[in-house]
């Protein structure tokens, strides 16, 4: 499954309790549509960090990074690309 699909599944299961029909599209704002609230963001961040092996900094908790499936998937891709393998980092 691609990143969008993985995130979509998490959103549907965890915030919509399985009701996929309540998600109008991958570009819908989580907050404006009420799908994710401010405490829900923390759940989302924890999930993304654990699933994709990235660390999200406080100053990255921005709507343009997190507030829709598309934004979040793009953000994850960007983070993964910029991440250097640990072995190289140590050197």
Q: Which stretch binds other proteins (CB under 8 A): 1-9, 15-23, 70-78, 80-88?
A: 15-23
Grouping H, G, I as helix, E, B as strand and the rest as coil, residue 34 is coil
Least Cβ distance, residue 68 to other proteins (angstroms):
13
Checking 11-20 for CB contacts under 8 A at 24+ apart, the result is: 11/35, 11/36, 11/44, 11/69, 14/43, 14/47, 15/40
Phi/psi of residue 61, nearest 5 degrees: -75, 70
Q: Answer yes or no: are the C-beta atoms of 33 and 26 closer than 8 Å.
A: no
User: Which of 3, 7, 11, 66: binder of other proteins (CB under 8 A)?
Assistant: 66
Show the site string, 26-55: x = touches other proteins by CB under 8 A, - = not.
Answer: -----x--x--xxxxxxx-xx---------
Q: Where on the chain is the footprint of other proteins (CB under 8 A)? A: 13-14, 16-19, 22, 31, 34, 37-43, 45-46, 58, 61-63, 66
């Amino acid at each position: 499954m691609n990143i969008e699909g993985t995130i979509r599944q998490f959103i549907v299961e965890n915030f919509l309790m399985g009701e996929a029909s309540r998600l109008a599209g991958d570009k819908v704002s989580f907050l404006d549509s009420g799908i994710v609230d401010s405490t829900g963001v923390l759940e989302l961040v924890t999930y993304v960090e654990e699933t994709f092996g990235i660390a999200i900094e406080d100053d990255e908790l921005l709507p343009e990074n997190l507030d829709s499936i598309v934004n979040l998937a793009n953000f994850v891709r960007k983070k993964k690309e910029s991440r250097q393998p640990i072995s190289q980092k140590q050197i």
